Structure 1
Amino acid sequence: MNGPTLHKTAADCAEELPGAQLEHPFGPDWEVFKVRGKVFMLMTEVPGRPVVILKADPSEALALREQYSYITPGYHMNKKHWITLEGGDGVGKKLVEELVTDSYRLVVAQLPRAERPVDPHTYGTGTRTAR
């Protein structure tokens, strides 16, 4: 998947998530997706390369970086909790959608229960329960 397709795939997935909103707090070159005011995905270009920056469980982030050359530590973010995804031959739609949904679920899990638009423990696992 090339860079522009990566951005479109990630944005399309994020826009479908309950309570997700697109903002541009850092200017027009940064697309920032939030849920209840908390960032779960950023998209920009890093020296001409479209990238998607996502939250990830630290142990999963390490495993993803070891497994995929196109996943690196989070650009301008905490390197332990965030990853950067670039386009490439091994990047498929399913992987992008899984990483975006996982990032969203991690952020939702940190929200107070009353503010959660979904149950982060079941959302995206086949038993979706939106509020």
Structure 2
Amino acid sequence: MTPQELRAFCLSFNAAVEDFPFDPRTSVFKVRGKLFALTNLDALPLKVNLKCDPDDAVRLRAAYDGLIVPGWHMNKRHWNTVTVDGGLPDRVIRELVEDSYDLVVAGLPRADRLRLDRA
């Protein structure tokens, strides 16, 4: 997955936006103001921080040793850093991004979730 493909996929979700609150290089993808992906699209290797169910996070780290690690500068229980350099199939990366988005949406207030359903 290329940086452009990662950006496009993150922005393909309902109400997803890209923001740069930290610096001009760090893309923060949000839904209704809540972060679901964080990356420097120019970094080599390309990595992305994604929210993850705590039990799944541990399982994924074991299954993809070195490619999925505890979230850098994030709550290690709820976030993973995923290396997007060809070591993981694009399908797996897309599933992890989608899971992160879905977890964040599930935590939104009911009114925001309902607005997303109608959009």
Give the TM-score band, short-chain normalised: 0.7 to 0.9
1:26 corresponds to: 22
For the pair 1:74 / 2:71, whether they are aligned, the reply is yes
- Matches of residues 1-131 of structure 1 in structure 2 within 5 Å? 5=2, 7-44=3-40, 48-69=44-65, 70-116=67-113, 117-118=116-117, 131=119
Quick check: 2:19–2:28 contact (8 Å CA) kept in 1?
yes
CA RMSD of aligned residues (A): 1.9
What percentage of aligned pairs have identical amino acids?
43
User: With structure 1 as the length reference, what TM-score do the two structures score?
Assistant: 0.80
1:32-56 C-alpha deviation (Å, 9 max, x unpaired): 00000000000127x8432100000
Specify which structure has the higher proportion of helix: 2
Runs in 1 of length 4+ with deviation above 3 angstroms?
none
Q: 2:61 & 2:8 partners in 1: Cα distance?
A: 24
Structure 1 unaligned spans of 5+: 119-129
Q: 1:18 & 1:48 partners in 2: Cα distance?
A: 28
SS of the residue 2:46 aligns to: strand
Q: Which amino acid aligns with 2:97?
A: V
The 3 A distance-change label for structure 1 pair 50 and 24 is: same
Q: 2:61 & 2:5 partners in 1: Cα distance?
A: 20
Quick check: 1:9–1:96 contact (8 Å CA) kept in 2?
no
Q: Which amino acid aligns with 1:103?
A: S
The 3 A distance-change label for structure 1 pair 49 and 106 is: same
**Greater mean deviation of Cα atoms: 88-97 or 73-82:** 88-97
User: With structure 2 as the length reference, what TM-score do the two structures score?
Assistant: 0.88
SS of the residue 1:49 aligns to: coil
Structure 2 unaligned spans of 5+: none
Quick check: 1:56–1:81 contact (8 Å CA) kept in 2?
yes
The count of residues paired between Structure 1 and Structure 2 equals: 116
Quick check: 2:71–2:80 contact (8 Å CA) kept in 1?
yes
